[in-house]
Amino acid sequence: MVNFILRRLGYGILILIGVNLLTFFLFFTVNTPDDMARLNIGGKRVTQEQIEKWKSERGYDRPLYWNETATGVEKLKRTVLWERSVSLLVLDFGRSDSARSTDIGHEVATRMGVSLQLALPLFLLQLVVSISFSLLLVFFRNSRIDFWGVVLCVLMLSISALFYIIVGQYMFSRVLRLVPISGFAPGLDAVRFLALPVMLSLLARLGGEARLYRAMFLEEIGRDYVRTARAKGLSETLVLFRHVLRNALIPIITSAGAYLPYVFMGSLVFESFFGIPGLGAFVIEAISGQDFAIVRSMVFLGAALYIASNVLIDIAYTWVDPRVRLS
């Protein structure tokens, strides 16, 4: 297993290098450092002296890919590519391109905790509620409960998350005044601000997740080991929870593991609409402000989390199914 993990991590590093270089080249295909300077300084009346000063302060006065005036390895080291991309491999995010020139690493460390407060309860509730609801439909399969449950899942799946947000804010914040409409507070006060986005995000994802898990459970319930368990006299509840659920854990882990990067990176839509200062809102602000340094760092961080989650998924397979061997 150790060799497998080391090999997967080695592949992951190569993927990160590729993602990082691709992000760099794509961004500078669209923009030049002069364009970035005008966007960040603001206005069309920006002088060339202001542009050159902005580029010098942020290291964009160097050649992008290749420094002809240097020799040897310095041809690459004295470039924006090295300064802005290779440094990410040692988790040096640098400073943002905006006028505030904030420390990206500090912002990530601060905002990740806020995103986790939103995404971690959502992740756990989503697993529990989706699996429980799916097992309920399978228990009453081919009945009216199953039929109307599937209809409800399709309806929830068909409605946009924006609809849940607008209706939820109007009903629970403006009409009932149970929770604040937006904002965030540290400590226990965060519960008042996070309760509504967690509930609405759960509703937005429940339909798709419940249908997926229901299909997996129905596939398992027709197998031979289930008929053998019933023949031994086990109740339907024990068959579902002791046998069907256990044998369906691999696809459940695959589905849940794919969501892990979003647990750390935050929800772009919900953080923006509810004014939660997490990583999702941080990315939206960077995109709207054309802040390449932040966008590049967030793409790199997202790719690293996705690779790590895939390694964890493979390891989890061996825990739930002894027949799986990593080699």
Spatial separation of the C-alpha atoms in residues 102 and 124, rounded to whole Å: 33
Residue 99 belongs to a domain: no
User: Residue 152: pLDDT band by 50, 70, 90 thresholds?
Assistant: very high
**Residue 249 or 31, more confident:** 249
Last residue of a domain, one of 56, 90, 124: 90
pLDDT at 173: 86
- Residue 9 is part of which domain span? 2-90
Same domain for 120 and 86: no
Q: For residue 134, what are the CA distances in angstroms to 119, 257, 276, 280, 327?
A: 22, 19, 31, 30, 34
Q: Tens digits of per-residue pLDDT, 308-320? A: 888 888 888 777 7
Number of domains in the chain: 2
- Closest C-alpha to 300, from 108, 118, 29: 108
Spatial separation of the C-alpha atoms in residues 251 and 317, rounded to whole Å: 10
Last residue of a domain, one of 61, 90, 119: 90
Q: Tens digits of per-residue pLDDT, 161-207? A: 888 888 998 988 888 888 888 888 888 888 888 899 889 888 888 88
Same domain for 268 and 127: yes
Q: Tens digits of per-residue pLDDT, 261-287? A: 777 776 778 888 888 888 888 888 887
Percent residues over pLDDT 90 in the chain:
6
**Residue 91 or 76, more confident:** 91
Residue 11 belongs to a domain: yes
User: Residue 74: pLDDT band by 50, 70, 90 thresholds?
Assistant: low
Same domain for 164 and 204: yes
Burial environment of residue 194 by CB neighbours within 10 A (0 to 12, 13 to 18, 19 or more): buried
Q: For residue 149, what are the CA distances in angstroms to 21, 25, 101, 212?
A: 47, 48, 51, 13
Mean pLDDT of 61-71: 66
**Residue 7 or 65, more confident:** 7
Same domain for 269 and 237: yes
Question: What is the average pLDDT value for the chain, to the nearest integer?
Answer: 81
Supply the pTM of this predicted model.
0.79
Same domain for 55 and 139: no
Q: Tens digits of per-residue pLDDT, 84-131? A: 677 777 777 777 777 667 788 888 888 888 888 888 888 889 889 999
Same domain for 257 and 206: yes
Same domain for 301 and 213: yes
Show Cβ contacts of residue 219 under 8 Å, excluding neighbours closer than 6 positions: none
- Closest C-alpha to 214, from 133, 143, 126, 142: 133
Same domain for 262 and 182: yes
Percent residues over pLDDT 70 in the chain:
89
Give the tokens for residue 278: 């997490």
User: Residue 225: pLDDT band by 50, 70, 90 thresholds?
Assistant: confident
- Backbone dihedral region for residue 94 (phi beyond 0: left; psi -120 to 50: alpha; all else: beta): left
In 10 A of CB 210, how many CB atoms?
26
pLDDT at 114: 86
Last residue of a domain, one of 57, 90, 123: 90
CATH number (domain holding residue 252): 1.10.3720.10
Residue 97 belongs to a domain: no
Same domain for 80 and 40: yes
Concatenating the DSSP letter of every residue in 45-84 gives ---HHHHHHHHHHHTTTS-SS--TTS-TTHHHHTSHHHHH
User: Residue 148: pLDDT band by 50, 70, 90 thresholds?
Assistant: very high
pLDDT at 89: 76
Same domain for 180 and 65: no
User: Residue 149: pLDDT band by 50, 70, 90 thresholds?
Assistant: very high
pLDDT at 71: 65
Taking 90 as the threshold, does the pLDDT of residue 151 lie above it? yes
